[in-house]
Structure formats: C-alpha cells, structure tokens
Structure 1
Amino acid sequence: MAEDCDTTADTPAGVWAAADWGTSNLRLWVLSCDDRLLARIGDPRGMLTLSSNGFETVLRERLSPWLGTGQRLAVVACGMVGARQGWIEAPYLPTPGRPIEMARLRRAPVSRDDLDVTILPGMAQAEPADVMRGEETQVAGHLAAEPHFDGLICLPGTHTKWVRCRNGRVERFRTCMTGEFYALLAGHSVLRHALEGAGWDDQAFADAAREAARHCGAVIDGLFGIRASSLLTGTSAAQSRARLSGLLIGAEIGTMRDEWQDRPIVVIGSGRLTPLYARVLADQGAAVATVDAEAATLRCLAAVHAQLRTEAT
C-alpha cells in the first residue's frame, strides 16, 4: 500500500521516480524535476514474488497517477530488480572500484515508451567471494556527500555489509549473516521458548554485546544459557530477546574489529538496528556516525538521474 502518498492535481510536469526493489519489498519515491519528494510508495511484491515480466506491471500500477501525461516517466532503480532473477540482469561491478559506473547501467525492456527504466548494478568481490545489490547505492550516496571519506561503512540488515571505502572507491567488503542467524535462532531453535513475549531490556543487550565483542566465543557458550535462565530464574522474554541480539551483534562487531578500529565508521540504516550497531561500536571505542538509509539512497539515485538527463541533452 502507498505510504505518505500525495497525488494532488498540482503535481508538476517533469516528475521522475526512484526505486529500491529488494527481495521482499519495493520502495518507490516520486520526485519533482528539482528532486522535491512528492510521494513515498511501498509495495510487498519483491523480486521473489515476480517473474521477469511482472516488474513492469507492478511499476505501472503503482505509478499510474504519473503516467499517461504525454511525457515519458524516468525511473532509476537499484536492488534485486537487477539480479539474474529480476527484471533484467545488471552485471556486478568489480571490487575494488567505484560503486556507480554510468556506462554499466542497464535499460529494462518495457511494453510502451511512456516508461524509461534504468537499473543500477550491484558489486562483486572475487576474494573472498562476496556480492551486494542495493547497499552499493547507499554507499555511493554517502560518498556523494563526503567524496573524501576514508573509512568503513556498516549497513545493518538481515545480511549486514561492512564496506571499506577510500578515494570514492569501494576497496573491499564483507557480509555477516547476523540478522538471519537471529531469525533462525528466535524462530526455529529451542531458544524460541524463552523469547515468547514482548518488550526489550537495554541493559541486557548492552551487557551481552560487551561480553561478545570482547570474546566472540561467548556466543557459542552463552546461547543455551538464555533458555536455561528462563527456566531456572524466570528471566523475562524482554531480557532474553535483548541478550540474544546483544550476543550476536557484539560478536559480529568484535569479529570486524580489524576493519573499523582506528578508522571513522558510518552506520547507514533505518529502524531499530542502526542505533543498536552504533551503540555497540561507540561502547567499543569506535568513532561512529549514523546516516539515514533513505537519504543516502535518494542522493545516489538523484545523482544518476541528473547525469542521465545531462547525457540525453
């Protein structure tokens, strides 16, 4: 369903759309020619639910108020829409390298010329093997704002990315499946019985994260204690849930210490994970700042759209 959607009659001509099309969801932004936000639209039909010819149908449905004006609507998209199983494959850019290369953008096939869709590629790393799609757009958005940034970018999520940047380039990156581990343990292990209930305990999170960041093995020998504690001492679900999250995030940050130590680090994200990662990093002595993921994404996609307009004139 649409969120914060404004389709008033005085919407100016020359609008364009930005899209972050992930595995599970689509996020759309409709913007004016001067990049003023006109509408924010969400849709649950991600890449996993669509065939290659289904993307255009969804896009036309969600952008229908801005189609049929006699003008071609430009859409700049990132994420899994460019995967092999997406609309059209946008082959990965190599690492090390710049996160955006205009010559490597792909045009998606459309049934009518009132829509012009450009898809950004992801990035791939040969050794150690790793890939990302969508996160590179946020990285590029931050580098557009801080072109001389020399440090680490952390992008928390189901698969958290740690991206080393210097001189406007991605030098290397690593992926940690911490979010997926949490979901598996919380939903499909014996620990699920200790997590049934609501609430959150900040102190339990901080203590567990500090313990695991100092000694990553605390995760292995500390997980079952969450279940045992709930049985023997009546530890609340709020404490158990926070401790599980703290152990996993703390261990991840401890494992990545060689990457972030003695470097500035920026956490790009939205929702509850961003402040959790920033808090643990700061507690471990990191020089950390946070950046809103939507702002970074739109900054990059707007820059690409502006360049496409320049090249077309």
Structure 2
Amino acid sequence: MTQNPQITPEWIAVDCSATQMRATAMGAAGPLAQATGETSKDLEAALLCLIAPWLSAQTTPVIACGWDAAPFRAVPCMPADAATLVDIPTEDARISLRIAPGLSQTNPADMMCGEETVIAGALALNPDFDGVICLPGLHSRWVHVSAKEVVSFQTFLTGELFSLLSQPDDTLDGFDPTAFEAALSETLSRPEKLGAKLFSLRAEVALMGLSPRAARSGLVGLLIGTELAAAKPYWLGQPIILIGAPGQCDHYAHALRQQGITPATLDAGDCALAGLSKLRGLL
C-alpha cells in the first residue's frame, strides 16, 4: 500500500516506534493506503505530514499506539482496552486523536509502549493462545500471556548491544549457522562467560582471520544465547509466538529450534493493525 490522496478513510490507524511512524487509512473493507515517516516529539505535526492528503472537512478519528503521552497501565491486565484510550487534544480540527497506553511492571521494573497493541492484535488473531510471546528488536521482550491478559514481561537490550558491538562497515554475506550455533551454546549454558567470549571473538578476527560473516553470526549467537539463558523461565515448556518484521525473527526461531522448540511467527505490522482495529471495536 502507498499513500493515495484519492481516498476518504473512515478512520486512521497509527503505530509508532522509536524512529518510524506508520499510518494506515482504514475503510469499511480494511486498509486503503499506507504512509510511513519519521517519529517526532511533535506527534500531531509528524502525523499530519503523513495523513494530510486523506483528510477532509469532516473530523477523522485516529487511533495510535507506541506514543508515550499516556500513563502506563500496570500488569496483569489486558494488553489493550478501548476503555483506556486517552484523548489527545489536537490543534487541527480535521482529526480526533486517541492513544493506547503502554504497560508497566514494578518487579522487576519494566515497561513497553506500542508492543501492548501488537500483543492485543496477536491475541485477536489467535484468540485461544496461552503461552509466551517474544518480540525481537532493538529491545526484545518476552511476554507471558494467560486468559487474554499480560501476566508479566521482561525486556532485553540484545538488539541495542548488537548495534554497539558490531562494526557498521562490516558486510554480512549470508548467515553462518555453525558459528551461530556454537556461540549460542556457549552463552546459553554459561551466560556469565559473555564478556570473555565477546573479546575472544574479537581476537579470532585479529589473530585467526575469522570472516566477517562468521564473526557477526557468532556475535548474534552469543547475545541471543545470553538472552535465552535469562529468559528460560519464560520459554521453557511453553508455546511461543515470535512477532517481528520479515526476517527479524529468524535468528530467534533458529535458536529456539536448537532447544527443541518450534515457535509460530507473526508479522508485527499485521498484529499492530489488528490490535488497533480491536481498539476501534472491529475485532
């Protein structure tokens, strides 16, 4: 879907991440068009840059998630609830804006913003699911879901650590499963060795000519192995759904298969749209 000025949406769904905003014009039969842009502190201005061609003199309802302008809701609770949508005043009378609150947890302290709506969409698409949802990304999250509620969750900085530790100018020509699996096994069984293994990986590159592909695959394996070790109470013996952009879940699915687990995989964009549609009362 691309931006199309020749449409009149019934409402607009918006999901935000730390860097990107995606708006979807919704009609009676579903999505009509889509536009993406950068996230901004000025939500209304950034939003209008994307959706202005779709607006008319009438007020168009906008439901958004991933924006931390609303108080967080404490778990356990439903991941998203239309009754908790927060009205956000707008200067432009052509839109009415409501935002889904994020979720918080006190022990251990944690929070999410936007993922709650993705989870709600996953549950709308899989209404009988009880188990664990993993959302890989810059900050990966493991979420225990039971009786349609988020019971608890834990966030890991795995993607952020990879960005800090990898070389931006390296090229990864494919994926080295042998390097990945060896590194995964090391830190999954001995997560306390992560720091030493990271330096050893660097030394292998300098002294033994380890290829960029093997080095980066090994780095991913070390980090995901450490994450799986810490998240073991979440995934061990549980049905698991991975939710992410295309290709984003591949390493996690590979790692879990090494533990004898075959997770289901859902597209994050599809789940976000389903969650926003549920908040609109359509699912």
Which residue of the partner structure matches residue 5 of structure 1?
A: 2
Whichever residue aligns with residue 202 of structure 1, its letter is D
Aligned pair 1:252/2:227, yes or no? yes
**Structure 2 residue aligned with 1:275:** 250
AA in 1 matched with 2:158: T
Contact 1:268 1:292 in 2 (8 A): yes
User: Does residue 262 of the first structure (1) align with residue 249 of the second (2)?
Assistant: no
Q: 1:271 to 1:218 in 2, by over 3 A?
A: farther
CA distance in 1 between partners of 2:166 and 2:262 (Å): 31
Q: Is 1:147–1:167's contact at 8 Å kept on the other side of the alignment?
A: no
Q: Which letter maps to 2:59? A: R
Task: State the shift of 1:113 in Å.
Answer: 2.3
Aligned twin of 1:30: 25
Residue 217 of structure 1 aligns to a residue in which SS?
A: helix
Shift of residue 6, structure 1, vs aligned partner:
4.3
Matched position secondary structure for 2:249 = helix
With the length of structure 1 as denominator, give the TM-score of the two structures. 0.84
Number of the residue aligned with 2:214? 239
Quote how far apart the aligned CAs of 1:102 are: 2.2
Distance in 2 separating the partners of 1:14 and 1:33? 8
* Deviation at residue 222 of structure 1 after TM alignment: 1.1
Rounded to whole Å, the distance in 2 between the matches of 1:215 and 1:95 is: 31
Shift of 1:206: 2.5
Q: Distance in 1 between matches of 2:224 and 2:248?
A: 10
Report the identity percentage.
Answer: 34
What SS does the aligned partner of 1:5 have? coil
Determine the C-alpha separation between the residues in 2 that align with 1:197 and 1:34: 43
Q: Among 112, 116, 125, which residue is 1:136 paired with?
A: 116
**8 Å Cα contact 1:154-1:163 kept in structure 2:** yes
- C-alpha spacing 1:8/1:62, structure 2 compared with 1 (3 Å): closer
Deviation at 1:62, TM superposition (A): 1.3
After superposition, the C-alpha distances for 1:5-62 in whole angstroms (9 at most, x for unaligned) are 14163x3x44321111222221111121232x22221112x24xx2xxx322222221
1:201 aligns to 2:175 (yes or no): yes
1:149 to 120, 129, 139: 129
Structure 1 position 230 matched with structure 2 position 221: no
Query: Which stretch of the first structure deviates more once superposed, 223-232 or 259-268?
Result: 223-232
Q: What amino acid does structure 2 have at the position aligned with 1:237?
A: P
Higher relative contact order (CA 8 A, sep 6+): 2
Match of 1:39 among 33, 36, 43: 33
Superposed displacement of residue 136, structure 1: 0.7
Gap runs ≥5 in structure 1: 84-88, 309-313
Structure 2 portions without partners, runs of 5+:
none
Q: Which amino acid aligns with 1:18?
A: A
Q: Which amino acid aligns with 1:21?
A: C
Amino acid at match of 2:173: G
Alpha-carbon distance between aligned partners in 2 of 1:172 and 1:200, rounded to the nearest angstrom: 35
Match of 1:18 among 13, 29, 34: 13
Alignment of 1:174-189 (within 5 A): 174-186=154-166
Letter in 1 for 2:55: L
Question: After TM superposition, what 4+ stretches of structure 1 lie above 3 angstroms from structure 2?
Answer: 195-198
C-alpha deviation, 1:211, in angstroms:
2.7
Query: What is the CA–CA distance in structure 1 between the aligned matches of 2:17 and 2:227, rounded to whole Å?
Result: 24
TM-score (ref. length: structure 2): 0.93
Match of 1:172 among 116, 141, 152: 152
Say which of 262, 274, 277 aligns to 1:299: 274
State the 1:273 CA deviation: 2.7
Counterpart pick for 1:77 among 55, 64, 72: 64
Alignment partner of 2:51 out of 54, 57, 63: 63
The answer (yes or no) to whether the contact 1:218–1:247 under 8 Å persists in 2 is no
